[in-house]
Structure 1
């Protein structure tokens, strides 16, 4: 199963959470960024409704697939400021909300 990691980092004069190479908006405080990361991680795990999805491939062909809505990734929040010695697995993990 896919695991998405939300990492709290200093960014643009404040704090943000980062997933892969993508940053969230900048928050004034570390605690605000941490709260936002916890919420985003929980929402990412929430199941959706089954539906048909349509998208265009890189080759320019359209595809239609059925999305069950229950294939959500596991998530975790890494909070380097709350852990001595650097970022460690932290606050929100799969199944927590």
Structure 2
């Protein structure tokens, strides 16, 4: 199972959540950034319809996979600026 970790960080004079090296928009407060990350975290848990997926891999080869729509990632928020950092 894939695991996604959103991190709450200071950013551009405010706060943001980030995934890897990608930042969200800047929020004026820590609490706003945390709430936005929680919303995104909940949206990650919404399943979808089964579907066939076609994509090109790193070597340029086309691949096809079946997704049952229920294979949602494990999602966590890492917030070192809050006492309870794992949600």
Q: TM-score, normalised by structure 1?
A: 0.78
- Count of matched residue pairs: 87
Question: What runs of 5+ residues in structure 1 fail to find an aligned partner?
Answer: 91-97
With CA pairs under 8 Å and 6+ residues apart, which has the higher RCO, 1 or 2? Answer: 2
Question: What runs of 5+ residues in structure 2 fail to find an aligned partner?
Answer: none
Runs of 4+ in 1 over 4 A off after TM superposition: none
Change (3 A) 1:2 1:65: closer
- CA offsets 1:17-56 (integer angstroms, 9 cap, x no match): 0122221111111111111100011111211111011111
Q: TM-score, normalised by structure 2?
A: 0.85
